[in-house]
Structure 1
């Protein structure tokens, strides 16, 4: 009887050990699954933070954040890249540069105009999926003694969805590289509106926006239905000199009267649309 009891005890002990080993293996398996999933989430978050490379300008994103914070409806926004072209001295050189741009920006539809005092090539494209417009211009003005040439690349987005905007911004900078490996002057501009004034009159609204951009006023034009302010903020590096000091931010507000919508335009370093 005791021998059988001893065998039963050993058998139960081995059974218990097997159960514990199985239980521990399951726990380890769950632990490793958790680690893999957690790592994936972390990496995913890092990728979303790094959607824009470090060398890409993010001013338009910051302007959009201010518009959304102040409940300004975003209508459209633009990015411009501009650079001088010094190698064009005659029509042959102009045509050669046009052919190079056509090759590097093959998705654009082109129109070339060769007039007496100006040569101009314009490439355009509309991306229906992203609701994005592109325009690339090569312009040469010439006299008997000199020529001046520059490239202007413009991209326009409508409304605001951040994932779409991020893709458009990446496309913009990628296309700048296709156009030229030299540096461009970058301009950012956003247009929106709101039905009610944020707080009081146009001047108060302007001050709220200046505070939102941590900007100091440099110059101002003020009328009853229109305010235009040039300002400077330490947040952005692109700076232009003025008689009153350096600036890198412009804010324009216009209203048609009581109860009408107020149009807001913000640009850096300057506003690049008519207002």
Structure 2
């Protein structure tokens, strides 16, 4: 069974409104996470960069369609799913290609609709040129958003030789190597989660009166032998783990 830290749901719901924003060049720790995983002999399985930004306000569905048509015209390498996009209380259209996902959403707000653009850039396996990936991603943000959005970085991998009794120590070592201070933690026999704060990173969110911008989770499934799944996210993990 996959487990999620109890605080994750609440944290994610409020993350967008409480995050502090840094400069665009500081908006992803993908390079740091990948390099540390490689150093610790963690085999990377997948990675994901996620962001969400506020777009224009539209008066009605016709203005939403106009904005959507402009997006589709500028992003011609996407396959757009227009099936059942008119929901009861909101409108949602998603475009995808091999490594990117764009979602254009509009929610009712008083007498208008607020538009949001959700952008994801993802891949499987170990990214071979993480610096180039990061550079491409940040350029895409500059193209897609007027204001600098907050980036959520998540990388998942596995290690074959971590004993259950040493999972917490391994997770603590990862936090220490990020020069972060532990804020919250959850310890179970086959599952460890540690939330921490690195004062050198610009983005952070508040949980129980403390700033945090790093989550490290380790999970073992007895059915898979000694394999340990390791997920690292900043400012929080945004996927199941």
- Give secondary structure in 2 for the equivalent of 1:120: strand
Please give the root-mean-square deviation of Cα atoms over the aligned residues, in Å.
2.3
**Aligned ranges 1:135-146 → 2 under 5 Å:** 135-142=101-108
- Give secondary structure in 1 for the equivalent of 2:143: helix
After the TM superposition, which segments of 4 or more aligned residues of structure 1 sit over 4 Å from their partners? Answer: 143-146
Larger radius of gyration: 1
- Residue 246 of structure 1 deviates from its aligned partner by 0.3
Conserved in 2, the CA contact under 8 Å of 1:192 and 1:265?
yes
* Equivalent in the alignment of 2:94: 122
Larger helix fraction of residues: 1
**CA deviation profile, 1:214-247 (whole Å, cap 9, x unmatched):** 1111111221111111110123111111114000
**CA deviation profile, 1:70-114 (whole Å, cap 9, x unmatched):** 111111111112112241332122112211211222211111311
> Which of the numbers 79, 88, 113 marks the counterpart of 2:49?
79
CA distance in 2, matches of 1:199, 1:236: 31
Higher relative contact order (CA closer than 8 Å, sequence separation 6+) = 2
Deviates more, 1:244-253 or 1:193-202: 193-202
- Residue 177 of structure 1 deviates from its aligned partner by 2.2
**Aligned ranges 1:102-113 → 2 under 5 Å:** 102-112=72-82, 113=85
TM-score, normalising length from structure 2? Answer: 0.81
Deviates more, 1:235-244 or 1:135-144: 135-144
* Equivalent in the alignment of 1:249: 214
- Residue 56 of structure 1 deviates from its aligned partner by 5.7
TM-score, normalising length from structure 1? Answer: 0.72
- Residue 148 of structure 1 deviates from its aligned partner by 4.1
CA distance in 2, matches of 1:65, 1:198: 23
- Give secondary structure in 1 for the equivalent of 2:57: coil
CA distance in 2, matches of 1:86, 1:219: 37
Conserved in 2, the CA contact under 8 Å of 1:198 and 1:205?
no
Conserved in 2, the CA contact under 8 Å of 1:56 and 1:173?
no
> Which of the numbers 191, 194, 198 marks the counterpart of 1:229?
194
CA distance in 2, matches of 1:81, 1:241: 18
* Equivalent in the alignment of 2:134: 169
CA distance in 1, matches of 2:143, 2:73: 10
Conserved in 2, the CA contact under 8 Å of 1:77 and 1:158?
yes
- Residue 259 of structure 1 deviates from its aligned partner by 3.4
> Which of the numbers 179, 183, 193 marks the counterpart of 1:218?
183
Is 1:67 the counterpart of 2:37? The answer is yes
